[in-house]
Amino acid sequence: MTTSKLTIKEVASRLNVSTATISNAFNRPDQLSAKKREAILKACEEMGYMGPNKAARSLRRGKSNIVALVLPDSLDYMVSDPVASQFIRGVTQVLKNTPANLLLFSGNNDNVNDIVDFVDGFICYGAPRNPKLLNQLTKIKKTVVTADFNIPTAPSVNIDNTQAAYEVAKIALNATATKPVILGLRLIDSEITRSIGNTPLIDSEYSISHRRLDGYLKAIHEHGLKMSNTDIWHIPESTQNHAKSAVEQILSHTPLPDTLLCMSDVIALTAMQEALKRGLRVPDDIRIVGFDGIDEASRYHPTLTTVQQFNDKKGALAAQLYLTQEKENRLLPFELVEGNSTSH
């Protein structure tokens, strides 16, 4: 007779032993003789009993050894994003030698409280797309660590996105630059790739894209150029398809831009492909910069000028802050990588 709903009391009664003996057979084998433990486990297997309820035991102990990794967007998008993959790899490298296990949680979800009782804490990579989660994360009484955004109640790991964007834009804006275009990430509330025009920017308090926009605009203004909102593009996701749609429209305008300031390497590499496909010379006719420092950027030809932000180290530090319970914010260094997309 088998059932998935047997309790430890029922099993103990059938085997005419105590519940402690059943528990020891599964969890503390040193408390029983090998022969007795083997007999109990065999009998339990025949009944279909798989052992004491681990979830209930975790709740009683107040510890599950599960860490929720809250990603900013849908899981299918985030696990395919090379930058997010670097961050996740950094987290797992630190946690692999600990009892902790990761639970991936989408930032599109409505309620982080659905899992709060089953996890020990949260590592949050990027501000969740659903703004409700931000408010919930500030009220959670368990450990929370954020990366690429800040909340008042948690330690964070970041780089200076404004300064990094400013410095990489200064490389691209040479003496002859007259028409830069910014290819931004999620700057307005729209699922369509488009110029922002007169559409108001979304709340920028938690957005690294808006910090990068600040840096690009600062460099452009210092260069003595005025920037029209028609030359600032909103790309809803850092994917080749969304980036291609933007670049195709941008390169169909007259006059053509001479500088493309992109908020991710995926966007920048797509822009370079489209420019070369149209016979434009990089960097002679058009200069292009990215942001992130993904592996593909160094292998592509021409090589890409970009910001290397070491996302695996960011993930590792976030995991370390989680484990040590440190409360201070950390600002990581970045490096400028000068490739052939801005100079020979």
Mean pLDDT on 149-159: 93
- The pLDDT tens digits for 219-243 are 999 999 999 999 999 999 999 999 9
Closest CA to 148 of 136, 138, 161, 139: 161
- The pLDDT tens digits for 123-139 are 999 988 888 888 899 88
What integer pLDDT is reported at residue 56 of this predicted model? 56
Distance in angstroms (rounded) separating the CA atoms of residues 177 and 232: 16
Does residue 203 register a pLDDT over 90?
no
CB 183 within 8 A of CB 261: yes
What residues form DSSP beta bridges with 144? 122
3-state DSSP assignment of residue 180: strand
- State the CATH class of domain 8-52: mainly alpha
pLDDT bracket for residue 1 (50, 70, 90): very low
Architecture of the domain delimited by 161-308: 3-Layer(aba) Sandwich (3.40)
- The pLDDT tens digits for 156-176 are 999 999 999 999 999 999 888
- State the CATH class of domain 61-157: alpha beta
Portion of the chain with pLDDT greater than 70, in percent: 96
Does residue 245 register a pLDDT over 60?
yes
Mean pLDDT on 24-40: 90
Angle between helices 161-172 and 208-222 (to 10 degrees): 40
pTM of the model: 0.83
Intervals of CATH 1.10.260.40 along the chain: 8-52
How long, in residues, is the chain? Answer: 344
Closest CA to 103 of 75, 137, 143: 75
What amino acid occupies position 160?
A: D
- The pLDDT tens digits for 44-55 are 889 888 887 665
